[in-house]
């Protein structure tokens, strides 16, 4: 299993390019199932989840092109979908496989998708995805660990989500795009990735309005056509890099990012004393002096993203004072805290709250990554720890960060991938 070896204590400096958003590229790839014509995507990060989604679509007999010559381009042509199934072997490695459920049933009238099961950060059911598709007229049964959905043609409906769900909203949008009549999604997720999916669907001939607000109106069309679309920048990678610059007392310029998607993160970082400036070429971050402890509560967009919570915790270990981090989206998303404690962090977890006392002197240790964002937070902690840190199970990190060790290495970090 691959690991990272990191020697802490180096100040990061320089310019770094933010990759395309994994969480926007995944639904965009699934949306290609909605049409028999090619969908060309640009600014797709070459990370493991994207490769997994490519395999999944190929399993459904779509043609998927990912050329090493143009690593940020993915072209998909689902001329026929002869095998409308997402098997357990692929779903278990990537929950976002469930994004194929809506497009498959809308396009072919049938879908069989493995239930994802729990994951390290919580139970993560898909009941809201299923309810939405049932409202649109699909008949759903669950057997042998698989969800089976059947429909003639889906019918537009009013969908009120009990709870805000990002991929649930995306699944419903893709299904409603080909349904007969109008659908109204209420209490929809407002993440930028939702707006990006709407932009792609509209480029394919769909009629989606209101994406990015909590009410999305979709007038179904009988068929969609091919399109070319550029994926938005990854706001979580950008946030992680902002913290990397700040935590090491360095100065970075992040290019190809979208500051408007980072408002909540920038606000918290600024409150803790970090200086962030929007420039013509991107975002410049530097550490304005000692860091101050600032509380944070994760929320749905436009609030502070749960996907930035672990990285923020790493930062708070270095801030003077006590910060309270409250996780409201997932019930078990503090696994990184115990690993940071092993590095010298002063963190106490009580249910959904973590209390961090700083600044703590971190020292290098052997630690284990438990999920994607937890891995990133351990990298950040290792960058300021004294001595050597070995991070095991970096396959979690490879699911969502493109060449992170190369990007950080180019900025002056001592980081290498070892077997
Ligand atoms: C997406 C993101 C993930 C991010 C999360 C929250 C992708 C591919 N992944 O995941 O990186 O951490 O949003 O911002 O975009 N829930 C239910 N029933 C459902 C669906 C969700 O109870 O049917 C619950 C979940 O357990 C969780 C909450 O709703 O507590 C929000 O989850 P959701 O927004 O669905 O997360 P994902 O779309 O899986």
Q: How many CA atoms lie within 13 A of 113 on its CB side?
A: 27
Q: For ligand 1, is residue 25 a contact (CB within 6 Å)?
A: no
| pLDDT of the residue at 397 | 95
Name every residue whose Cβ is closer than 8 Å to that of residue 312 and which is 6 or more positions away in sequence. Answer: 243, 265, 268, 296, 304, 325
Tell me how far the alpha carbon of residue 8 lies from the centroid of ligand 1, in angstroms: 33
pLDDT of residue 79: 97
Out of 113, 117, 168, 214, mutate this one to test ligand 1's pocket (max ligand atoms within 8 Å of CB): namely: 168
Taking CA atoms, 216 is separated from 35, 212, 258, in Å, by 21, 8, 23
- Amino acid 124: pLDDT: 74
Q: Which atom of ligand 1 is nearest to the CA of 170?
A: 38
Q: Domain-by-domain residue ranges, the chain?
A: 3-19+233-418, 22-230
Predicted pLDDT at 331? 87
Peptide bond into 359 cis (omega under 30): yes
206 lines ligand 1 (CB under 6 A): no
| Residue 142 CA from chain centroid, whole number | 27
For ligand 1, say whether the CB of 339 is within 6 Å of any of its atoms: no
| Beta-bridge mates of residue 325 | 296, 354
Atom from ligand 1 closest to the CA of residue 124: 26
What pLDDT is stored for residue 82 in this prediction? 86
Instruction: Identify the pLDDT of residue 317.
Output: 98
How far, in Å, is the centroid of ligand 1 from the Cα of 2?
A: 28
Check pocket membership of 125 for ligand 1, CB cut-off 6 A. yes
Give the domain 22-230 fold: UDP-n-acetylglucosamine1-carboxyvinyl-transferase; Chain (3.65.10)
Q: Which residues of the chain have pLDDT under 70?
A: 117-123
Please tell me if the CB atom of residue 195 comes closer than 6 angstroms to any atom of ligand 1: no
Active site residue 119: yes
Cα(95) to centroid of ligand 1, in Å? 10
pLDDT at 218: 98
Q: What is the pLDDT of residues 136-148, one digit of tens each?
A: 999 999 999 999 9
Task: Say which residue the tokens 């959905």 belong to.
Answer: 149
| Residue 286 CA to ligand 1 centre (angstroms) | 32
Q: How many CA atoms lie within 13 A of 99 on its CB side?
A: 30
* Confidence at residue 68, expressed as pLDDT on a 0 to 100 scale: 87
pLDDT of amino acid 117: 64
Position 122 scores a pLDDT of: 64
For residue 81 and ligand 1, the question of a CB distance below 6 A is answered with no
Does residue 161 have its Cβ closer than 6 Å to ligand 1?
A: no
Q: How far is the CA of 162 from the centre of ligand 1 (A)?
A: 13
List pLDDT tens digits, range 54-68.
999 999 999 999 988
Question: CA 173, CA 38: separation in Å to the nearest integer?
Answer: 20
CATH 3.65.10.10 fits 3-19+233-418, yes or no: yes
Q: Locate 356 and state its tokens.
A: 């961090």
| Strands 321-326 and 296-297, sheet pairing | parallel
What was the pLDDT predicted at 52?
95
**Residues 6, 7, 8, 11: is their CA dihedral positive or negative?**
negative
Q: Is the beta carbon of 122 within 6 A of some atom in ligand 1?
A: yes
Residue closest by Cα to atom 1 of ligand 1: 166
β-sheet bridge partners, residue 363: 386
Query: Residue 9: is it exposed, middle or buried by C-beta count within 10 angstroms (0-12/13-18/19+)?
Result: middle
- Ligand 1: centre distance to CA 65 (Å): 28
**In whole angstroms, what is the distance from residue 102 CA to residue 287 CA?**
45
User: Is 22-230 the same fold as 3-19+233-418?
Assistant: yes
Q: Which residue has a Cα nearest atom 39 of ligand 1?
A: 167
**Cα 126 to Cα 104: distance, rounded to the nearest angstrom:** 16
């Amino acid at each position: 299993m691959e690991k990272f070896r990191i020697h802490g204590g180096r100040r990061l400096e320089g310019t770094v390019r933010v990759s395309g958003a994994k969480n926007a590229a995944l639904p965009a790839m699934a949306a290609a199932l909605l049409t028999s014509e090619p969908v060309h995507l640009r600014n797709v990060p070459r990370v493991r989840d994207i490769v997994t989604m490519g395999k999944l679509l190929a399993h459904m007999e779509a043609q998927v092109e990912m050329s090493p010559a143009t690593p940020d381009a993915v072209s998909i042509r689902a001329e026929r979908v002869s095998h409308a199934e997402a098997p357990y072997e692929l779903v278990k490695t990537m929950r976002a496989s469930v994004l194929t459920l809506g497009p498959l049933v809308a396009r072919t009238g049938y879908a069989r998708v493995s239930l994802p099961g729990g994951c390290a950060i919580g139970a993560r059911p898909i009941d809201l995805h299923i309810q939405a598709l049932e409202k649109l007229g699909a008949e759903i049964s669950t057997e042998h660990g698989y969800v089976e959905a059947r429909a003639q043609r889906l019918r537009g409906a009013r969908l009120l989500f009990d709870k805000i769900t990002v991929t649930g909203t995306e699944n419903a949008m893709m299904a409603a795009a080909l349904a007969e009549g109008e659908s109204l999604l209420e209490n929809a997720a407002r993440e930028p990735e939702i707006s990006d999916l709407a932009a792609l669907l509209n480029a394919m001939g769909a009629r989606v309005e209101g994406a990015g607000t909590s009410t999305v109106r979709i007038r179904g069309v009988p068929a969609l056509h091919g399109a070319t679309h550029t994926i938005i920048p990854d706001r979580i990678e950008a946030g992680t890099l902002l913290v990397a610059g700040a935590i090491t007392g360095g100065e970075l310029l992040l290019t190809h990012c979208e500051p408007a998607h980072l408002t909540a993160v920038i606000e918290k970082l600024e409150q803790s004393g970090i200086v962030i400036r929007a420039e013509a070429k991107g975002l410049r971050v530097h550490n304005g002096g000692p860091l101050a402890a600032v509380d944070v509560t994760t929320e749905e967009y436009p609030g502070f993203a749960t996907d930035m919570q672990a990285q923020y915790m790493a930062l708070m270990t270095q801030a003077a004072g006590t910060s309270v981090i409250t996780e409201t989206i997932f019930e078990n998303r503090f696994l990184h805290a115990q690993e940071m404690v092993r590095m010298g962090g002063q963190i106490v977890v009580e249910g959904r709250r973590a209390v961090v006392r700083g600044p703590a002197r971190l020292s290098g240790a052997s630690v284990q990554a438990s999920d994607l964002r937890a891995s990133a937070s351990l990298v950040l902690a290792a960058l300021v720890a004294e001595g050597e840190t070995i991070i095991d199970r970096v396959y979690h990190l490879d699911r969502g960060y493109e060449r992170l060790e190369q990007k950080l290495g180019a900025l002056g970090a001592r980081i290498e991938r070892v077997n």
